[in-house]
Chains A and B, each alone.
Chain A
Amino acid sequence: MNERVARLRQKSMDTDATISTERAVLITEFHKQTREFSAPVRRALAFKYLMENKTICISDEELIVGERGQAPKATPTYPELCCHSLQDLDILDSREKVSFRVSNNVRKVYREDIISFWQGRSMRDIIFQNVEKEWRAAYDAGIYTEFMEQRAPGHTVLDDKIYHKGFLDFKAEIEKNLQSLDFLNDHEAYQKKEELKAMSICADAIIRFAERHAEKAQEMAQRESDVKRKKELEKIAGVCRHVPRHAPRDFWEALQAYWFVHLGVITELNTWDSFSPGHLDRHLYPFYKKGLEDGTLTREQAKELLQCLWVKFNNHPAPPKVGVTAAESGTYADFAAIDLGGVKPDGSDGVNEVTYLILDVIEEMKLIQPSSNIQLSKKSPDRFLKRACEIIRQGWGQPSIFNVDLIVDELIRQGKSVEDARSGGTSGCVETGCFGKEAYILTGYFNLPKVLEIALNNGVDPHTGLKIGLETGDATQFESYEELFDAFMRQLNHFVDLKAKGNNIIERLYAIYMPTPFLSILTDDCIRRGKDYHDGGARYNSTYIMGVGIGTLTDSLAAIKYHVFDEKTMNMKDLLQALKDNFAAQEKTRLMLWNNTPKYGNDDDYADNLLKASFDAFYDAINGRRNTRGGFYRVNYLSTTCHVYFGSVTGATADGRRASEPLSEGVSPVQGADRQGPTSVIKSVAKMDQVRTGGALLNQKFTPMLLEGDDGLQDLAHLVRSYFKLDGHHIQFNVVSAETLRAAQASPEKYRDLIVRVAGYSDYFCDLTKSLQDEIIARTEHKSF
């Protein structure tokens, strides 16, 4: 990277995250002075108020401009969704990891103006007022989490539309649809009118926001004495006057247009997984090619601009949470995803020169944000995979690797058109979606081993003694494994029912109270349908529930089937007692369960068949249920860091795991239970019919030595291709030795910049909680293929 980029990058890394009240103050002001409007128009006017009044920040040397806060890393809050208490702010400020500085002034503003206004009115309060008691009991027990209680659904990716159209074009489309509303026959015509009006207001607002940057840049240019910078500021002013009002004309304008749109989405609401550019290489390629051809752009300039955009992503930490979850450190990463390669809508290979350019950028920038991945197809050239493997081998977990052929199949299976499927990809951790056309909303993690625990205890949560499940029978009386599994399935369906009922309420609450007209402009077919993103306006509407701990569940079932029913090495009563006692004074029993039981991850059908049965049970309980937005419920398997939280509320399990220890992560085998090398892991995991999911996350850990040299690189590439031949969805690698990780735990100050793969994202090792650090160390480290 050049000196400018190096300085910008360093500054971004050195700047502390802070809590900014600007957004909270503006949104509160707006709500205090506003008169009654329909919800979409009210939200649009609030957005406009923010865009017209928030501080405009243009930092030294930068080329791509715009910040969500008034300065880099100044992180706004969203009190209309969830309002931080003073105690929350203290926790954010004082917690050891992933902290946010909170000034006394921020506390004062919160105490005097924000909390009193939003208490009882925020979405979080409204949600908890509206869900059932049983829902709450299962939620408190840690059966599932709820994404929407703190952050807005969002969770989506942009397609190519902003590279062809400006917001004046979108406004014209909105106007056309407004004109054609049929108030005589369409009983929803009025709602559509309000929604379309709201979109139009948002289009004006984002144009104004860009103009304000142009004005600021112009003003700075006039005062600037450095001739070079003066010229740059004038150029920035020109770019901001043109985009996103009009479609971008060159590479620079394309990047700036994206960034304004990105800021719009993450300022309108605190959308899950930020917002993502998706197939950036594909979208930028025409501008790159044109620039190179007409001599207005060089590869180096393109790289510098991309790197300036990378710094922008890094300037924007994930908005911090409230309540109990604030005490857990979480991560600064906000999961904005960049998908490289893949296939084009016509099915041809999507890799181009910009793909390789962006891979260079990823390698040089080495930042946890944005998150990058490659979409590998059987048509992708080996050079593409090899280049990605070279970066992966460096050990910081990026880019991750996805099987785009399977992803297209997953989307088609869900009923999407083949072209839309090919324009899709993955975002967040591993979630599949049609970019620019789908609201694929994650609703929460689901604790599979906990459901087994409830089944083994006849509906009671042994952690609290509360009865939260069904009475499915006294487990000591079960005469066959099938009886036990049947009890598990009944509990599973019960809790999925509760979860879905809750979701259906929450979806409606967002549709009614919290429309998102700006994001709706960007998502087909919201304009055409005159419907909001939160209300089924998107062409496709999926609702995901994420299974967590399927490895722990499988191994626990295998242990019970093997020891209690097949081999009869122990009876159910003794086993339940051992679990209840957390194996106290029964280490021998624990070691027998841990060592002498068939385990998932070793290509052993005894265990793997139970994995398939568990997978089917979860799939059958969820897939195909209707949500309230005209779409369907789907499953996927990812855990982010939730396997640690779920582990903390789950007692000892029959696979020999002690109480409170983390569950298995993603679809990965239990940490340390896979003992036959990576090829066996891949074979086991691929027995799961992943085409029926919307994503399944597999992490593997290698010693750096194994991947040395050309041979190591080839072996890694072959492993990936083999897994994908078997229809695996995603694989990612940690290439760092346990020794290094332990050293980093002991002397964090020496390992500040050590980045590792956590789950579907990378993070600074020293920013992780101790339990998560331990969990990563415990993962099996493969020393040979």
Chain B
Amino acid sequence: MEEIEKDIIFYDESKGGVTFSGGEPLMQPDFLTEMLQSCKEKDIHTAVETCGLVKSEDLARIEPYVDLFLYDLKIIDGAKHRQLAGASNRTILMNLRELSQSHDEIIIRFPLIPGINDEGEDVLQIRTFISSLRNVQEIHILPYHKGGIEKYRRLGKEYRLPGIQPPSDQKLSQIEDIFRRVGLRVKIGG
């Protein structure tokens, strides 16, 4: 908390605050709740970045202390999600739907990976899902970049997305348009 407080001057000036990110911050729900509570006591804006694959009661527990959720949405198709991410997305979608019933500030973060989830179908499904939520108005598209390759190499890990090129600007603006058309605010990068 001391480290967080050191930067209060910058939060005030830039209307910013603390973002709890990860890994998955909700893997440590007790610590996260405690930190969020302390931030709210000090009037510091809080954001939590989550992949959504968490217990719904944990999400409910932190919700009162979170100003903004940054919620990852990768793929809507259940089978495809299981195949690529190694787990079902049922919980993810359910949690998001539930959260959007009660929470106003949610931004969807959509990691766009060419050849994996950049085809019309996947994108449209994401759009349809977002449109069906009560109160989500903004999406950040996170285009794939190669920054991880070197990191994996240094960690001695196998990099499993070889040969993928970052999406072209043209492709990005096409996808941006798809979301804009239904009135969503879109930002590339985040």
The stretch among B2-10, B32-40, B126-134, B159-167 that forms the contact with chain A is B2-10
What residues of chain A lie closer than 8 Å to B13, measured between beta carbons?
718, 721-722, 725
Encode contact with A along B1-45: 1 for CB under 8 Å, 0 otherwise: 000001101100110100000000000000000000000000000
Are B14 and A679 in contact, with the CB atoms below 8 A?
no
- Total of A-B residue pairs, C-beta within 8 Å: 22
Are A726 and B14 in contact, with the CB atoms below 8 A?
no
Number of interface residues of B (CB under 8 A): 7
Cα distance, A714 to B16, chains bound together (Å)? 12
Cα distance, A719 to B11, chains bound together (Å)? 10
Cα distance, A603 to B13, chains bound together (Å)? 18
Are A722 and B9 in contact, with the CB atoms below 8 A?
yes
- Which label, helix, strand, loop or mixed, suits the secondary structure of the B interface? helix
Return B134 CB to nearest CB of chain A, in Å: 28
Encode contact with B along A576-606: 1 for CB under 8 Å, 0 otherwise: 0000000000000000000000000001000
Return B45 CB to nearest CB of chain A, in Å: 14
Return A416 CB to nearest CB of chain B, in Å: 29
Encode contact with A along B52-70: 1 for CB under 8 Å, 0 otherwise: 0000000000000000000
Are A722 and B6 in contact, with the CB atoms below 8 A?
no
Are A603 and B9 in contact, with the CB atoms below 8 A?
no
Is the CB of A574 closer than 8 A to any CB of chain B? no
Are A725 and B6 in contact, with the CB atoms below 8 A?
no
Cα distance, A718 to B16, chains bound together (Å)? 10
Cα distance, A725 to B13, chains bound together (Å)? 9
Quick one: which of B6, B14, B16 contacts A683, CB cutoff 8 A? B6
Are A726 and B6 in contact, with the CB atoms below 8 A?
no
Encode contact with B along A664-692: 1 for CB under 8 Å, 0 otherwise: 00000000000000011001000000000
Q: List B residues 88-124 near A (Cβ within 8 Å).
A: none
Name the residue on B nearest A680 (C-beta): B6
Is the CB of A715 closer than 8 A to any CB of chain B? yes
What residues of chain B lie closer than 8 Å to A683, measured between beta carbons?
6-7, 9
What residues of chain A lie closer than 8 Å to B14, measured between beta carbons?
714-715, 718, 722
Are B10 and A603 in contact, with the CB atoms below 8 A?
no
What residues of chain B lie closer than 8 Å to A680, measured between beta carbons?
6
Q: List A residues 77-115 near B (Cβ within 8 Å).
A: none
Cα distance, A721 to B6, chains bound together (Å)? 16
Name the residue on A nearest B13 (C-beta): A722
Name the residue on A nearest B190 (C-beta): A711
Return A387 CB to nearest CB of chain B, in Å: 19
Beyond the given pairs A683-B6, A683-B9, 5 more chain A to chain B contacts, judged by CB atoms under 8 angstroms and listed by A's residue number, are: A679-B7, A715-B14, A718-B10, A718-B13, A722-B9
19 pairs across A/B with beta carbons < 8 Å?
A603-B6, A679-B7, A679-B10, A680-B6, A683-B6, A683-B9, A714-B14, A715-B14, A718-B10, A718-B14, A718-B16, A719-B10, A721-B13, A722-B9, A722-B10, A722-B13, A722-B14, A725-B13, A726-B9
- The 9 tightest CB contacts between A and B, nearest first, are A718-B14, A722-B13, A722-B10, A718-B13, A721-B13, A722-B9, A679-B10, A603-B6, A679-B7
Which residues of B come within 8 Å of A, CB atoms? 6-7, 9-10, 13-14, 16
